[in-house]
Chains A and B, each alone.
Chain A
Amino acid sequence: MRRTALLALASALCLAYANKKSADEARQFLKQIPNNEKITQALNRLTFGPRPGDAEQVRSQGLKKWIDLQLHPERIPENPVLAEKLKTLDTLTMSAEQLVQNYPTPQIVKQMVAGQMPFPTDPDRRMMIEKLVAKAEKKQGQAEQANPDAPEAQPLADLLPREQIRTLRTGTPEQRMAAFQALTKDRQADVIAALPAGMRQGLFQFAPPELRRRIELANGPQQVVARDLMEGKLLRAIYSNRQLDEVLADFWFNHFNVFLDKGADRYLVTAYEREAIRPHVLGKFKDLLEATAKSPAMLFYLDNWQSVGPDAPQLRGAVPKKGKRGLNENYGRELLELHTLGVDGGYTQRDVTEVARCFTGWTINQPQRGGTFAFNRRTHDNGEKVVLGVTIPAGGGMADGEKVLDIVAHHPSTARFISRKLAQRFVADEPPPALVERMAQTFLKSDGDLREVMRTMLDSKEAWSEGAYRSKMKSPLEMVTSAVRAVNGNVDFAFALANQVAQLGQPLYRKQEPTGYSNSSKEWVNSAGLLARMNFALQLANDKVPGVKVDTAAGMTLGSPEFQKK
C-alpha cells in the first residue's frame, strides 16, 4: 500500500513538473525576439544560411517585404551565376526517356548494340558510349578467345608514349591539361576510357566542365544522372536567389520521399522532382499530392504499379500466373501514414486495404524505358470500396484513386499533420500546438493552399519567439550548404560536397525509407555526426574539398557548436 501511495505521489509530482515545464516552454513561444535576431532567424530558417551581406540586404529591404518576395519566388530574378553552373548538368532538363537513351545502363547499351535502341545523337556522348562498347566487347573477346576483329579499346601504353603518360600522372595541373588537350578528340576518348580510375580522378579535378562530362560518362553513364541530381540540388541551395523555394523543394521531396537506387527510379527521380514536386511547393496540397500519386517515380518506389485487384478482369477466371499478380498495400499505407493523415490520423488496416484496392490499375508504361503514368482497366478492382467511411461505388475505374486523393487531401487530420510538420521544420522541434492549429485552420479554409499556410506560420508570433530562436540543429545538408554560403565559397563542381553531406549522415536522394529524413534536431546530434561536421569544416577552410574554392580561416568557427545550430 505504501508503495502504491508513493508511486502515486511520484507520478503526481512528475505530472506537475511536466505541466510546469510545458507552461514554461509555452511562455518561451510568446516572448518576441528583437528585430536583428528576427533577421538572423529568417535567414537561418528560410534560406540555406546567410551569406556575408545578406542580413544588411534584408534589413534595408525590410523583413516583411523580403519574406513576401520569398513566398513569391517567380517575382525574384534568378541568379545568373546559378544558370551558368547548372548548364553542364544537362540531365536535369531531360525526360526520363531521354535519360535512358543518353545515359544508358549496361543493359540498354547492349540493346543499342543489338539495334533495338538508337544511340544518343550528341556526338560526344555517342563516341564515349561506343568506346565503352568496344571495351566491353574486348573484355568479352578475351574471355571467349574469339573474334579477333572486334574493335579494340587499347591499353594506355599503346595509345601514348611513356613521357606523356608520366605527364598525365604526375604533371602539374596545367601540364596535365595541356598534354591531354593536345590530343585529337577521338584519341582523348580512347585515353579517358583507358585511364585507371585514380588518374581519371586526378584529371577530373582540373578539367573544364565539358571534359568533366566525358570523364563522368566513362565512369558509367547511368551514374551521371544521380550525380547531376545531387550537384543540382547543392548548387541551387548555395546559389539560388529563390531560397525559400529551394528549402521547400527539399522539404516536400523529403515528405514525398522516393529512393533513387530502387530499380527504374534511377531514371524517374529527375522528372519527379522537377515536375511533381517543384511546381507545387507553394501551391495547393491536393495538386502536389496528385502529382506524386501519378508520378512513375512514386508508383515504382511504393510498388503500386504492380498492384492488381483480386477481382480485376485480368485475374477473374484465370489461373493466376506464378507470383506477380495481386494487391500490394505499400502505397496505400504510406499515403495515409506518411503523405496525408499521419499515423494517428484515424484510419484502420481496413482503410489501408480499401485504399490499395482503389489504386489498383494505376501503373507505369515501360518503367525501365523511362515510363509514363497509365491506368490499366484490366488490373483495376472495380468493386465497391469504403474509405474512411466514404462509400466509393463500384465501377469508378481510375476515378476511385482520385476520389481517395480528394478525401485525404481535405481531411482535418491531413491539415494538422502537414501543418505540424511544416512548423517542425521552420519553427521548433516541438512546435506550439496553438500555432499548428491556426495553420491547420488556414489549410482547411484555403483548400490546402500551402502559400497561405506558410504565411500563417510566418505571420505568427511563435515563429519569431525565444522558443524558436536558434532552437534547432542544422541537418547535414543545411550544415554543408550554410558553411559554403557563410564563407562565400566558389563551387566549380559539387559532387565532393554531396559526398560530404552523405558522410555527415544524409545521403541525398538516397533515403531508402519512405519517411524521408527527420525534421527534428535530435536525429542529428551524435558523436559520429559531430566529428564529421568538424572535419568537414576544417577541410573546407583548408581548401581541401574538391571543386570548392574558399578564402577563409574560419574552420574553427564552422566546426563550432554555435554553427551547428540554426
Chain B
Amino acid sequence: MMTRRLFVRGSAIVMAGIGAAPSWLARAAEGARGKRKTLVAIFQRGAADSLNVVVPFSEKRYYELRPTIGIAAPSGQNSGPAQNSAIDLDGRFGLHPQLQPLKAFWDKGQLAIVEATGSPDPSRSHFDAQDYMESGTPGKTSGDGWLNRALLPAGPETSPVRAIAMGAQLPRTLRGDRAAIAVNDMQSFQVGNQDTSSILESMYAGSADSRLERTGKDAFAAMKMIRSITQGPNNPPGNQQYFQGGELGRSLQQVARLIKADVGVEAAFAEVGGWDHHGNEPGQLANLLRQFGQALSAFCQDMGDRMDDIVLVTMSEFGRTAQENGNNGTDHGHGGAMMVLGGPVRGGKIYGRWPGLATEQLYEGRDLAVTTDFRAVLSELVAGHLGQTNLAQVFPGFTPGDRLGLLRS
C-alpha cells in the first residue's frame, strides 16, 4: 500500500513540471467565457454497479458473469418481459429499465455516457476512493476539492452562492479557497430575526478562528441572498417528479430554484447514497435508479432552455465486481461509468474505449478496467464549460490526453 502511494505521489510531482496544455484546451475555454454557466456534479456514494446501470448487453460474457442479477438484453434480442430488459442505446449498451426517463435526453442528443471510466488508483476502499475522486488527486487526499479549484478567482461580480452543495455538510469536492456553501434546506437557511442575525454575524466576523470567521462570513452573505429568493413564489413544473426523485430530487429542485433566480450559481453539488449493494441488489438498485432517473429528468425539464448553459455530470467512487457474488449482489470493483447531461453536451453517444469482460480483460481478473481517467472527463467540462484553463491547478499531476469531445463547443 505504501509503495503504491509513494509511487503515485512521486509521479504527480514529475508530471506537474511537464504540463503543456493541449491545443483544444485554449479553444474550448475561449468559447466558455462571457456567459454564465453552471456545472452540476452528482456523486453516487457507495460505488454504483455501472454494469447494471449501463448494460453491455451485446457481451455474452456479461450474462455468464451475472446469471442471476444480469439485466436482460432489450426485448426482441433476448427473452424476458420488456419492463425488465435494458433500454437499447446503440445496439451494444442499454440503460437499466428504470432509467426510461433519461432515454428522451439521449434521443435529443443531450445525454452522453462515458464507459469504463474511473480512477487510476487501485483502492477498493469507499472512503479513500471517494476522497481521491472528490479531491481530484487519485492516490492522495488533498484538503480541497476539484470543483472548488475549478472556479475562477472571485471578482466584484462573484456571487456568494456561486458554489453550493446540497446537504448538511460541505463535501470535499467543494472545499477550498473559493467561497462555497452547504445548504440543507433553503427555507430554513436563516438565523433568528434581523437583530439576532446581525449580532451573530458580527460575532463570527470577529472570531479569532479563521475557519469559523470565513465560514460565518460566507454563510451570512449566502443567507441574505437565499432569503431574497425564498420569499418569491415557487411552483416549478414537475414538482411531482422531483418528489419521486427522492433525496436527489429534493436537492436538484433546490439547485434549480437557485439557478432560475439568476443569482450566479457556477457550481453545484448533490449526492445520493445507498449504492453499496453487496446483497439483494436487483430490487434495491431498481429503486435507486428509478429515483435517480426521475430526479435528473425533473431537473432538465424544470430548467427548460436554461439547459443550454448547464452541464450535469455523475460519478461514483468505483464500479463493482464484474461477477455477481453469492448474495445476489456485487463486491467492490474498479471501472465504472459517468453520465454527462446538458444542452452543450454532444450526447447520444457512448464515449471511452470498452475494455471487454473476458477474464484477461478484467482489471485484476475481476473488475471492469479503467480506460478513461475520470479527470479526463471532468477536465473537458471544467475547461469547456467553466472556462478554467489552469488544469494543472484543478488536477495537479494530470495531463489530459486526446480530447473526448464531450462538449459541442
Contacts and interface: CB of A to CB of B under 8 A. Distances in A.
Given A326-B327, A527-B219, A530-B216, A505 B203 contact: no
Contacts, number: 160
A207 interface: no
Given A530-B215, A535-B192, A555-B196, A349 B124 contact: yes
Contacts of B169: 505, 523-524, 526, 528-529
A532 B327 contact: no
A530 B219 contact: yes
Q: Residue among B124, B168, B183 with the most chain A CB within 10 A? A: B168
Contacts of B143: 522
Contact of A7 (B5, B17, B203): B17
Contacts of A515: 126-127
Contacts of B364: 349
A525 B211 contact: yes
Q: Residue among B46, B169, B364 with the most chain A CB within 10 A? A: B169
B37 to A, nearest CB: 23
Given A529-B182, A538-B196, A556-B199, A504 B170 contact: no
A347 B4 CA distance: 12
A337 B125 CA distance: 8
A530 B274 CA distance: 26
Given A303-B327, A329-B331, A343 B125 contact: yes
Interface residues of B, number: 60
27 contacts: A7-B17, A307-B327, A323-B68, A323-B326, A324-B326, A324-B328, A325-B326, A328-B325, A328-B326, A329-B331, A343-B1, A347-B1, A504-B168, A512-B274, A523-B169, A527-B183, A528-B168, A528-B170, A528-B219, A529-B169, A529-B182, A532-B168, A538-B192, A555-B196, A561-B212, A562-B207, A564-B212
A522 B142 CA distance: 13
Interface residues of A, number: 58
Nearest to A330: B278
A193 interface: no
B325 A327 contact: yes
A37 B191 CA distance: 32
A534 B188 CA distance: 12
Given A526-B169, A534-B191, A306 B183 contact: no
Contacts of A322: 68
A256 B216 CA distance: 33
B278 A328 contact: yes
B15 to A, nearest CB: 11
B309 interface: no
Contacts of A329: 325, 331-332
Given A322-B68, A527-B215, A346 B327 contact: no
Contacts of A338: 127
B181 A528 contact: yes
B30 interface: no
Contact of A303 (B182, B188, B203, B279): B279
Interface string B193-210: 000100110011001010
Given A307-B327, A326-B327, A527-B222, 4 more contacts: A308-B326, A326-B325, A504-B168, A525-B212
B356 to A, nearest CB: 21
A322 B69 CA distance: 10
A323 B182 CA distance: 41
Nearest to A513: B126
Interface in A546-566: 555-556, 559-562, 564-565
Interface string B41-64: 000011000000000000000000
A562 B204 CA distance: 9
A95 interface: no
A264 B190 CA distance: 38
A11 B13 contact: yes
